[in-house]
Amino acid sequence: MLQLARLRVKLNDMRTALFVAGLLAHVLSTPARGQDTYAISGTLVTGSEILMSGTMLVRNGRIEAIGAKVKVPPGVTRIALEGVVFPGLVDVHNHLTWNVLPHWSLPHIVKNRYEWQSMSEYAARLENPRNQLFAAGRGCDMQRFAEVKALLGGATSTLGSLGATAVEPQRNKCVEGLARNLDVFSGLYSEQLNSEPLRYVTAPLELDWKEVASLRDGLASGSLRSAIFHVSEGVDAASRREFAMFKAQGLLRSGATIVHGVALQAPDFEEMAVRGVGLVWSPRSNRELYGRTADIRAAKAANVQMAIAPDWSPTGSSGMLAELREAARWNVSNGSLLSDTELLAMVTSNPARLAGVADRVAALKPGMMADFIVLAARGGSPIRALLESIPSSLRLIAVGGRPILGDISLLRRFDPAGPFQTLSVCGRTVGLDAKEQLGGDSWASITNRLDAALRQAGLGLATLDECQ
Ligand SMILES: [Zn+2]
């Protein structure tokens, strides 16, 4: 009996393994609905080089070949693209569900995050309306609105997504399908919701010792590829003190990344570089809240690996492209400290490395996921199309080979059958090819529900982009 029971357990294990393997193959291939195989040609910025007249062959959601002389098999659809193709941008600092709330201009700048979080205006404009939306069961609507907003901003991967709760472990199932949610469901390593090898921590100093030990052990053993922590968000001595406290927790170690670091000074950055700890820079939100941003000159001098990300739209940029514009403006007024290629890396390969996903996304090369964006050409070189983008620059965005959002005429070349939903962004009509990713719901009903609920709070729904 015992042997029979053991055999049954083994068979069950095998069945589970086969089932999981099947699911994994399905998820990791992420086939495009229109066409599983196609070739795009045009100006391609691969990450490491610029192909002025290149071709990229995409099959079952991955890049099969890319180069100046790619042989396209007979019968495969060829799509010549105007503009410039880049890897999809990787956002490693966001708080997605807050991005339904309109921009909040503080009455005055503050010294640290605790100051604005204790303002009555913060409660009235942001915290309370968000809690009311959750209480009304609008969590998935908020997440989907924010993911479309992130895609419009050029991000194919993002984080700070709707999470699970102990009572509702599947509450965030709706995150599957649009952008990659690096903290809860990326579709890169596992088919299982809420099992990503990445932790995103907004208040590391509030963790109990067990949670700290688990993060430390996870990073040491490699079971966690990445842990991203908010530290030193402010300009005063107390904010800098957080760095010492974080270090005392044993978290200043390889695989960890610090978000903000506004109060950090040269010796702190030197220590981060030695220990392999990265920095996420969010210049717009820092400027609006604290009147200045992290000391990027010192971080660069220390050779800290840096990424750029928007934080959230209530006090930051609406998306990655807008935040990159802010960073590029800062760069010009700071003696062009960062080169164009460094800025490109700060929204693609650097954040991908910090998030532990550089083996799958953020570069256009064979074997990688076909996550890419197409931008209208601007400026004197292909990379300037990224650094000088305007809200109407985004022509197309594809995740796992599947074009989700963009110009309707372009979407139709990948998926002639459609039909597409439409969004209005800064007076322009953009197509959305994502009916099933929205749970069969329509974009109009999602935004109408959110807008009606937020009007009751005296606000109204946030815009998808800033048109100025
Ligand atoms: Zn944040």
Q: pLDDT for 143-162, tens place per residue?
A: 999 999 999 999 999 999 99
Q: How far is the CA of 403 from the centre of ligand 1 (A)?
A: 29
Contact yes or no for 316/285 (Cβ under 8 A): yes
pLDDT exceeds 70 at position 8: no
- Distance of alpha carbon 38 from alpha carbon 59, whole angstroms: 7
Over residues 29-33, mean pLDDT: 42
As a whole number, the mean pLDDT across the chain is 92
Q: How far is the CA of 93 from the centre of ligand 1 (A)?
A: 6
pLDDT exceeds 60 at position 12: no
Q: How far is the CA of 131 from the centre of ligand 1 (A)?
A: 18
Q: How far is the CA of 246 from the centre of ligand 1 (A)?
A: 16
pLDDT exceeds 70 at position 9: no
Q: How far is the CA of 206 from the centre of ligand 1 (A)?
A: 15
Q: How far is the CA of 274 from the centre of ligand 1 (A)?
A: 24
Say what the pLDDT of residue 467 is.
87
**Percent of the residues in the chain that have a pLDDT greater than 70, as a whole number:** 93
Contact yes or no for 361/314 (Cβ under 8 A): no
- Distance of alpha carbon 80 from alpha carbon 86, whole angstroms: 15
Q: Which residues contact 65 (CB under 8 A, 6 or more apart)?
A: 55, 56, 57, 71, 366
Q: How far is the CA of 214 from the centre of ligand 1 (A)?
A: 22
pLDDT exceeds 60 at position 31: no
pLDDT exceeds 50 at position 397: yes
Say what the pLDDT of residue 439 is.
86
Over residues 198-215, mean pLDDT: 97
Q: How far is the CA of 449 from the centre of ligand 1 (A)?
A: 26
Q: How far is the CA of 124 from the centre of ligand 1 (A)?
A: 19
Q: How far is the CA of 435 from the centre of ligand 1 (A)?
A: 30
> 90-354: which CATH architecture?
Alpha-Beta Barrel (3.20)
Q: How far is the CA of 399 from the centre of ligand 1 (A)?
A: 24
Q: How far is the CA of 94 from the centre of ligand 1 (A)?
A: 6
Say what the pLDDT of residue 345 is.
98
Q: Tell me which H or E stretch contains 66.
A: strand 62-67
- pTM for this predicted structure: 0.92
Q: How far is the CA of 258 from the centre of ligand 1 (A)?
A: 10
Q: How confident is the model at residue 34 (pLDDT cuts 50, 70, 90)?
A: low
Q: How far is the CA of 202 from the centre of ligand 1 (A)?
A: 6
Over residues 435-440, mean pLDDT: 87
pLDDT exceeds 50 at position 357: yes
Q: How confident is the model at residue 468 (pLDDT cuts 50, 70, 90)?
A: confident
Q: How far is the CA of 128 from the centre of ligand 1 (A)?
A: 18
Q: How far is the CA of 282 from the centre of ligand 1 (A)?
A: 9
In terms of residues, how long is the chain? 468
Q: Which residues contact 321 (CB under 8 A, 6 or more apart)?
A: 89, 153, 154, 386, 389, 393, 394
Say what the pLDDT of residue 286 is.
98
pLDDT exceeds 70 at position 291: yes
Say what the pLDDT of residue 238 is.
97
Q: Give the single-character DSSP code of 103.
A: P
Q: How far is the CA of 113 from the centre of ligand 1 (A)?
A: 10
Q: How far is the CA of 429 from the centre of ligand 1 (A)?
A: 31
Say what the pLDDT of residue 437 is.
87
Pairing of strands 77-87, 37-45: parallel
Say what the pLDDT of residue 436 is.
84
> Please, what's the b/e burial string for 232-255 (b: 16 or more CB within 10 A of its CB; e: otherwise)?
bbbbbeebbebbeebbebebbeeb
Contact yes or no for 391/149 (Cβ under 8 A): no
- Distance of alpha carbon 69 from alpha carbon 136, whole angstroms: 55
Over residues 66-71, mean pLDDT: 97
Q: How confident is the model at residue 23 (pLDDT cuts 50, 70, 90)?
A: very low
Of 410, 363, 406, 400, nearest in space to 89 by CA: 363
Q: How far is the CA of 95 from the centre of ligand 1 (A)?
A: 6
Q: How far is the CA of 293 from the centre of ligand 1 (A)?
A: 14
Q: How far is the CA of 285 from the centre of ligand 1 (A)?
A: 9
pLDDT exceeds 80 at position 251: yes
Q: Which tops the pLDDT comparison, 15 or 401?
A: 401
